[in-house]
Structure 1
C-alpha cells in the first residue's frame, strides 16, 4: 500500500512564454500594401524601433477585443491625451472594426475605421485567392472635412503573389500620376530583390518613368525562419527616394525558460549633394535592442545621435490581457528628458506558456539533458529542438508558427 502513497516528482520542463505581439499587427493588413514596402525586414524593424516607445509627454490607451462567439471579427479602439492637456487641444480617439473570412487567413478581410481626425470614416477591403495567387484591394475614405489631395478619393490595387514572386500596382482615381505605384519583388533562395516605381504625389506633370527619383530598389539576404522559435538573420540594403535562462519564479521542475532577444541597426544617408527637400534628413542611424525575459516583462532600448529611448513593458495574460508601458525619451539637442505612458487591453491572441508533456520520459532523465533537448507541449506529443532545427513547425501553437509563404 505504501507504493501507492509515493508520488513521483514531476519531470523537469522548459517553459516557452507567448510573445507579446506575434504575428505583428502590421501583418494583418499587408495585402493592402506594396510587397516592396513590407519585405526586406521592414515589418520587423518597424515593430522593433516603434512599438511600446510611447510618445513623450502623452498618455495613450488601446483596447483590442474579440468576441468568443465570433472570432472572425474584432474591435480596436485607441485614445491619446497630452499630459499637459489644454482646453483648446483635441483628444484624439479612433476605433477600427475588422472582419476576416478565416481566423487563420488574414488576407481576405474588410475593416471600417472611424476617428475624430482626417479622414473621419474610412473603409478598407481585400480579397486574395491563394490557389491562383491573385488579389484585389481598395482603400476608400468615405467621410472627410476636406478633400485637398487625390489620395483622399481612395486607392485601388491588383496583385499577384506566390512563394517566390510578388507583382502589383495601385491606382488613385482622378490623380495626375497613373499608376500611383508599381512593384516587383522576387526571392531566389535566401536572396530577395525588389524594385518599385512611386512618383511624387505632389507632382502635377503626371507619371514620369524616366525620372530616377521615382524609382526605388532594394536587396535583402535572409537566413533562418519567420518563426520566432528559430533564430533568424536579415540584412537589407535599399536605394530609396523618398537561449535558456533559469526562472526563479517557477516551480522546481521548471529547469529553464525561453527568452526572445532582437537586435536592429538602421542607417539612412543621402547620396546626392543637392538641396535637401523638406522632411528629408541628411543622415541618421539608430541602434535598438529588445529583450522579452518571460511572458510578463519586455525591455527595449533605442540609441541615436540626437536622442535615446528606454521602454519597460509589463503584460498580464488575464482574459482579457492587460499591458502597461512606460518610456523615457532623452533629447540631447535640448537636454530634455520626457516620459510617455501607455495602456492596452487585448482579447485577440492566444497566450499561454507551453510546457513539456508530463507523460514523456527521456532516455537519460537528467535536467541537463532535458534542458539541452528543449521539450515543448504541443498537443499530444512534445516538440524537440531537433524539430525546430529542421523547421518542422506543424504542431506548434499558431502564434509561434512561421507566417504563410505568400511573398
Structure 2
C-alpha cells in the first residue's frame, strides 16, 4: 500500500501527425514513368507546386475509395470544371479502377481509366520482379476519339533498376513506328550524387540524325541527402539541361521541426508537436540564341512553400512572374477522410484575384497519429527529454532522433516509410 503515492508521472510526449498525402498518389505509377522524370526531386517538387493549388475560377472533387473486404482494389473518381456556367469549358469526369496484387508493393498492378474526354478508355499494366530488378509495362488506349500520334495506339516498355542504377526503353509498336526507341533513359546514383540522361525524339528529322540532334536529349545531375521518409529531413539540388536549349535549376527541402503544443485540450504530458515544412524553387532559362529568347515566356522562376501545422491544417503558397497563389486546406481524419481546400490566385498582369475550390474524400491511405511510440519521442543520449526545463532550452531545441536516422523503418507505419530503393527505378 502507498505505492500510488510514489508513482512516477508519465514522460513527456511529442505528437507526430500524419502527412496530408504520403505516399503521394503519383508514386503509385512511377514504374510507368522514366526514372529521369521522377528523380532529382522532380516528384517532390511536382507535389509542392501542384497539390491543393486549385485552378482559379474552377472547382475539383476527388473520391478515392478502397473496399474494406478487398484492399487489393481501389477506385479514384474526379470531377472538375469552371465555376461559371458562361464559360465554354465543359465539366470533365474521370474514373480509375486499379488492381494491385500486393497491398504493400505498388509496382505490380493493372488499372482501367474511363473519361468523358481523351482517351475514353485506357488500360495500363505493369509487372516488376524485385529479385531480378526487371520490369515491363504497357499503356494501351482501347477507345479513343482520335489516333493522330503513335502514342494513341499504345506504348510498351522495359526497365531494369537497382539501388544505384536505372535504365529503360519505351517503344510504340502499334502501328509500326519509324521512331525507335520512343524514349530511353539511364540514371545512376553514386552516394549523394545522382546523374542521368534521357532521349526523346520529339523533333522530326532524318532517321540517322535523331541521335545527333541535341534537342532530343536531356541530362541532369543532382545532389541530395535524406532517407525519403517524411519523418526525416531531406534536401535535393538539381541542375538540368533540357533538350539542349533549356537550363533548369531546382531546389527542394523538407524540414522536420518541433514546437510547443498550445492546445488546452491535450493531456499534460503532451509537450510538443512535429511540424513539416517544405520549400522549393525552380528556375528555367533558355541557353540558345533563338529569336524568342528575350521574351518572358522563355525564362521562369517559381517559388513555393508549405507548412503543415498539425494533422488538420495545411498552408501553402507559391509565387511566379505571372501569378501567385495562396492555398489553405483542412483535413478531417474520419474514415473515409475528408479534405476541403480553397485557393486564391492573383494574376499580376490583369491585376485581379480569383478563387478555386477543392473537395476530396479518401480511404486509400491510413492515418498514423502517434503519441507514445518511442520511435517518435524526442530522444537524447542523456535522456534530457524527461525534464520539462530541458526540452525547450534556447539553442538546444531537440530534433527527431531515433531509428529513423539509422535507416531502420521497420517499426513505422507503411505510410511513413520512405519510397525506398525503388526511387532509383
Q: When the two structures are superposed, what TM-score results if normalisation uses the length of structure 2?
A: 0.87
| Structure 1: distance between partners of 2:272 and 2:38 | 35
| Structure 2: distance between partners of 1:288 and 1:48 | 7
SS in 2 for 1:354: coil
2:308 matched residue in structure 1: 292
2:211 matched residue in structure 1: 209
Q: Does 1:264 align with 2:280?
A: yes
Deviations along 1:96-142, one digit per CA (max 9) or x if unpaired, are 01111111110000110000000000000000000000000000000
CA 1:164 to 1:284, structure 2 compared with 1: closer, same or farther past 3 Å?
same
Q: Does 1:405 align with 2:406?
A: no
| Structure 2: distance between partners of 1:215 and 1:22 | 32
Correspondences of 1:3-402 after superposition (within 5 Å): 9-86=9-86, 89-173=89-173, 174-200=176-202, 203=204, 205-206=206-207, 208-241=210-243, 243-249=257-263, 250-276=266-292, 281-357=297-373, 365-368=386-389, 385-402=401-418
Checking the alignment, whether the CA contact within 8 Å between 1:79 and 1:92 is kept in structure 2 is yes
| Structure 1: distance between partners of 2:296 and 2:28 | 29
CA 1:117 to 1:11, structure 2 compared with 1: closer, same or farther past 3 Å?
same
Deviation at 1:7, TM superposition (A): 7.3
Deviation at 1:357, TM superposition (A): 4.7
SS in 1 for 2:411: coil
Deviation at 1:252, TM superposition (A): 2.0
Deviation at 1:403, TM superposition (A): 1.1
Once the two structures are overlaid, the 10-residue window that deviates more, 389-398 or 29-38, is 389-398
SS in 2 for 1:385: coil
Deviation at 1:327, TM superposition (A): 0.4
| Structure 2: distance between partners of 1:327 and 1:17 | 23
| Structure 1: distance between partners of 2:138 and 2:296 | 29
Deviation at 1:350, TM superposition (A): 1.2
2:254 matched residue in structure 1: none
| Structure 2: distance between partners of 1:155 and 1:192 | 27
Checking the alignment, whether the CA contact within 8 Å between 2:60 and 2:79 is kept in structure 1 is yes
| Structure 1: distance between partners of 2:5 and 2:283 | 65
SS in 2 for 1:352: coil
Checking the alignment, whether the CA contact within 8 Å between 1:321 and 1:346 is kept in structure 2 is yes
Deviations along 1:332-356, one digit per CA (max 9) or x if unpaired, are 0111111000000000111031111
1:380 matched residue in structure 2: none
| Structure 1: distance between partners of 2:116 and 2:267 | 49
Checking the alignment, whether the CA contact within 8 Å between 1:52 and 1:313 is kept in structure 2 is yes
| Structure 2: distance between partners of 1:219 and 1:404 | 20
Deviations along 1:149-176, one digit per CA (max 9) or x if unpaired, are 2111010000000000001100012333
Unmatched 5+ residue regions in structure 2? Answer: 247-256
Checking the alignment, whether the CA contact within 8 Å between 1:317 and 1:352 is kept in structure 2 is no
| Structure 2: distance between partners of 1:388 and 1:130 | 24
| Structure 1: distance between partners of 2:270 and 2:125 | 46
Deviation at 1:288, TM superposition (A): 0.6
| Structure 2: distance between partners of 1:307 and 1:280 | 13
Checking the alignment, whether the CA contact within 8 Å between 1:373 and 1:385 is kept in structure 2 is no
Q: When the two structures are superposed, what TM-score results if normalisation uses the length of structure 1?
A: 0.91
SS in 2 for 1:36: helix
Deviation at 1:81, TM superposition (A): 2.5
Unmatched 5+ residue regions in structure 1? Answer: 376-383
CA 1:368 to 1:148, structure 2 compared with 1: closer, same or farther past 3 Å?
farther
